[in-house]
A and B are shown apart, each in its own frame.
Chain A
Amino acid sequence: MTAVEVSFSYLDACLGVLVAWGAIGVAGLIRPRSVEFAGRTLFPLGAVCGVMLTVVAIASIAAPTERAVLPVGLPDLPFHIRRDALSAVFLALLGGASAGISVFSAGYFRKGEGALPGLLCLEYHVFLAAMGLVLIADDAYAFMVAWETMALASYFLVTTQHRIAEIRSAGFLYLLIAHVGAIGILLSFGVMQGGSWQFTFDAMRSAHIAPEWASAAFCLALFGFGAKAGLVPLHVWLPEAHPAAPSPVSALMSGVMLKTAVYGLLRVSFDLLHGVQWWWGLLALAFGLGSAFYGVIFAAVQTDMKRLLAWSSIENLGIVFTGIGLTLVFQGCDMSALAALALIATLYHALNHAFMKSVLFLGTGSVLHATGQRNLGRLGGLIHRMPWVTWLTLVGVLAIAGLPPLNGFVSEWLLLQAFLFAGEVPQAFVNMLLPVGAAVVALCTALAGYVMVKFFGVIFLGQPREASLAGAHDAGVMERIGLLWLAGACIALGLLPVQVVHLLGSVVQELLHVGPGDWGVDGWLLAPPAARHASYGPLALFAVTVAVVVLGAVGVRVWFGRRARRGPAWDCGFVRLDSRMQDTAEGFGQPIRHMFEPFFSMQRELPTPFDALPRYRVTVGDRIWGLVYAPLGAVVRGTAEFAARLQQGRIATYLLYSFVTLVVLLALVL
């Protein structure tokens, strides 16, 4: 038998998956009202496509770049597409995370919840395909079309339950900030074409623009992509949109869509622009660290589980942008080994966050379905009712808290190594600032642990806070498979960092031109050459720890037996224990509220001693609203009202306007 020659390129295969996603979406309209058709057939098919995309993307990471021109678009503006290592890594992320989410969705969507299942299926798969197109677009036109399709599809997904006024306003806020950001990106492309009026990325790569214009393009791109990624102060849409959207959509938006912003900024700063300047990095670093810190302290005081996760996404994207900033600083100072280390940490964290945040959002989805509650104050004790969801969520919780041997720790380790051994940046004051940045990253990671203990402990542990929780049921089979896939990815990314870094190394080679010697891999150990004598081997560490745990457990059992009796909780001899005596979500956030008080705008409602029914209430708000958005809104409203004065609604006035305009124009021309 002769081997069949396969003339498919990787790019064709990727494109095929995107087209298949589009087709699946349209197929949803065949039987729009059937949950069974969408759930049993279409979403699993979408997941299969996702797995295929992952396989193709991983296989193609080290392959040479491929390009193609698609005969769609405007007559003189065809879509250019291109697959290189950077695209491939993010395509793998898209495929891998979306596969788990799609399988979960197959079991998640129920009848009578907002939009029709068929419509949801269309929006969902168009969203996936648009994200894929963003990643392979090779000209500004295709990129912006895909970017806008992505924003619109996700807007419709967010407003699935559009009959609720809050959800409509959350959707509007999201759409608004998405478009403000898109303007930034569009202008950035406009600057980068450098007078050639060619909007293909190749033209931008070869355009030689002055350093100050390059800086302008970078700042616009940082603004535009920062709005999508939820960098403070452009983060306000995230805590509104995520709770509004159905959980799989939140997972997709937080896990995957936010990463397209990371991709975009990496594409612009390392591929399209030349002559990276170190202060760009400082800018990204400042916004990244600010978002990370701001996000995590707000996550700690939330009482809505999905809002908590949304703030946690702001934190994690902050850390990713910190990594980008660090890479830019090092690249701007021609320290390529350190830049490689920082870039690997950045990509690794983006990858990690896609999987761990998806696990958590899907876990909240299952909890929401089983209990109907999003408020942490009405949950508790679900470990007995929903063991699958609990244990799989625990994997995500430990991962995002940055604990070894799971994946969150690997990227934290890499990032801290990059910070730690930065010692030789030419600018002395940057040298002083970087260790402080490391301190902020360390603080944020530790706070993330706090947030996650609160999240997991209040939802799944303790006693049920409501009687109705006794009827909670565990997730269905499809949901379990989806969660297992994503949690498994968290474990694999945690235990096999060497293999992952090998894959990410191709990106480093492509963007920074740093060879395999500097990727930071030594046999089975992660050992960045930039950080002398530092290594991390999670498999060995995990094996030793597990061995000790097993030996300990077996030893105790052999020598001392395993007798155990059940009895009432001790609680220092107190007998009338009930579920209201447990710490609440508000209580768990109290130390943070107390310590970081200046960051929060708090409204307290305290009972007087004479209240018959004493009530205590505290609402925590975001100061950014008052500081940035309220004045901005007032300015916009004022301008609009001024403009409205021109609108008299009388035909004579409008004719007068036309006449005056005509006269002025004539005066100018003549």
Chain B
Amino acid sequence: MTPLRIVTQLLEIAAALIAAPAFLGWVNQCRAWLQNRRAPSVLQPYYGLRKLFGKDVILAENASALFRFAPYAVFGTMVAAAAIIPSMGTGLPLSTAADAIALVGLLATARVFVSLAAMDVGTAFGTLGARREMMVGFLAEPALLMVLFVAAMISHTTSLPLIAEGLTTRALALYPSLAFTAVAFTLVLLAENARIPVDNPATHLELTMIHEAMLLEYSGRHLAMMEWAAALKLFNYACIGFALFIPWGTGTEAGGPAALMLAAPLLALKLAVAGAGLAVVETLSAKLRVFRAPEFLATAFLLAVLGLLVYLLLGA
């Protein structure tokens, strides 16, 4: 089955790279519809990327090599993360080298590089954004880890594809612990991807920005890499959610190539529903003050820990 595994692996990466901007476009489209605006095309993020790649880079006078290297490092870690999340098939060779904890580590690496790059030029907005990003991160990271731990304890493994397989083949019963963690995961997803209510991807008010504030000094191809990486991050989070909470339809090794073929349209369907749901959540909630963001994330962390305790108490 080795060739199939390699094909699965390459397909996963390619699908992530291609589908990520479209997913972002779809979320934006749904949001526009819900807000009674004329919606941009689903392909709008691709147009944006093409335009940015074509432009010259303007670097701040005191930007260092770290600033120029960071976009590629962030992009690289996001692609590596995409390579170990079972979005279409579970036969991923790289997932033996990196499990769920390593996935959290990879996401943290990307976060640290974005923050350091934001501090490099030394502007007020950049450093403010970096501080806030790290503040969101240090609460979101353990919460995500706890969410993954619950799934890992249920399926007795920390390997993401095996978790997905284990959860697919389990009896269709209600797991109260997973219900808790699903809520926690949603909160983490919103916070980590700079969505409302923690951050606003469409904001033009600098003082409230987190993610955008860190990218203010980037331009041209560097900005394109950062934007693409951000889209990949959202896609990755969505796929982690699918793997943990709705893993059905992911092509397992036992299913063979046919299952893999079937998985692609199913993934598209899941993404469509999840994107619409994300747009609804974002439209219905208001942005929190930055000082309230820790409470929001602490809730996520406590819910995830509760999920773990519920699992230990009830064994389910």
**Chain B 208-221 near chain A by CB (<8 Å), digits 1 or 0:** 00000000110111
A348 to B34, CA, bound (A): 53
Cα–Cα, bound, A594→B290 (Å)? 12
- Residues of A contacting B96 in the complex (Cβ-Cβ under 8 angstroms): 525, 535, 537
Pairwise interchain contact A591-B305, C-beta atoms closer than 8 A: no
How far is A454 from B112 in the complex, measured between Cα atoms in Å? 10
Which secondary structure characterizes the binding site on chain A?
A: helix
Task: With A544-B94, A571-B216 as known contacts, state yes or no: A463 contacts B122, CB within 8 Å.
Answer: yes
Query: Does residue B29 face the partner (Cβ distance < 8 Å to A)?
Result: no
In the complex the two chains form, what is the Cα distance from A64 to B175 in whole Å? 52
Given contacts A436-B305, A568-B61, whether A449 and B137 have CB atoms under 8 Å apart is: yes
CA distance A565 to B219 in the complex (A): 11
Stretch at the interface among A275-283, A412-420, A657-665: A412-420
- Contact residues, B146-165 vs A (CB, 8 A): 146, 149, 152-153, 156-159, 162
Is A563 an interface residue, CB under 8 A from the partner?
A: yes
How far, in Å, is A397 (CB) from chain B's closest CB? 8
Instruction: Say yes or no: B135 contacts A402, CB within 8 Å.
Output: no
Q: Flag B79-91 by CB within 8 Å of A: 1 or 0 each.
A: 1100100000000
Complex: chain B residue closest to A564, CB-CB: B57
For chain A residues 424-468, which have a beta carbon within 8 Å of chain B?
431-432, 435-436, 438-439, 442-443, 445-447, 449-450, 452-454, 456-458, 461-463
Which residues of A are found within 8 Å of B109, using beta-carbon distances?
A: 398, 403-404
Least distance between B82 CB and chain A CB atoms (Å): 10
Contact A588 B131 (CB under 8 A): yes
* Count of A-B residue pairs with CB < 8 Å: 261
In the bound assembly, the distance between CA atoms of A482 and B155 in angstroms comes to: 46
Which residues from chain B contact A590 at a C-beta distance below 8 Å? 131
Q: Does B134 touch A at the CB level, under 8 Å?
A: yes
Smallest beta-carbon distance A295→chain B, Å? 15
Interface residues of B (CB under 8 A from A): 53-54, 56-66, 68, 72-73, 75-77, 79-80, 83, 94, 96-99, 101-102, 105-106, 108-109, 111-112, 115-116, 119-128, 130-132, 134-135, 137-139, 141-142, 145-146, 149, 152-153, 156-159, 162, 206, 216-217, 219-221, 225, 291, 294, 301, 304-305, 308-309, 312-313
CB pair B62–A453 under 8 Å, yes or no, is no
Residue from A381, A402, A421, A423 in contact with B122 in the complex, judged by beta carbons closer than 8 Å: A381
A3 within 8 Å of B (CB atoms): no
In the complex, whether A531 has a CB less than 8 A from a CB of chain B is yes
The contact string, 1 if C-beta is below 8 Å from chain B, for chain A 382-413, is: 01100000000010001001111000010011
Give chain B's interface secondary structure class. helix
A-B pairs with the 6 shortest C-beta distances? Answer: A462-B122, A583-B127, A537-B97, A533-B157, A549-B76, A442-B142
Known: A533-B159, A545-B76, A549-B76. Is A409-B135 also a contact (CB below 8 A)? no
* Complex contact A548–B80 (CB within 8 A): yes
Q: Are A565 and B59 closer than 8 Å at their CB atoms?
A: yes
Given contacts A413-B101, A435-B312, A571-B125, 10 further A-B pairs with CB under 8 A are A402-B105, A409-B102, A442-B146, A450-B138, A461-B116, A536-B102, A540-B94, A549-B73, A588-B127, A591-B132
User: Is the CB–CB distance between A563 and B159 below 8 Å?
Assistant: no
Chain A 326-365 interface residues, beta-carbon cutoff 8 Å to B: none
Residues from chain A with Cβ under 8 Å of B62 in the complex: 381, 384, 463, 569
Complex interface: chain A residues within 8 A of B116 (CB):
453, 456-457, 461
Query: In chain B, what residue has the closest Cβ to A383?
Result: B64
Residue in contact with B135 in the complex, picked from A416, A450, A544, CB distance below 8 Å: A450
Using Cβ atoms and an 8 Å threshold, which residues of chain B touch A545?
Answer: 76-77, 79-80, 106
User: Which B residues are in CB contact (< 8 Å) with A569?
Assistant: 60-62, 121-123, 217
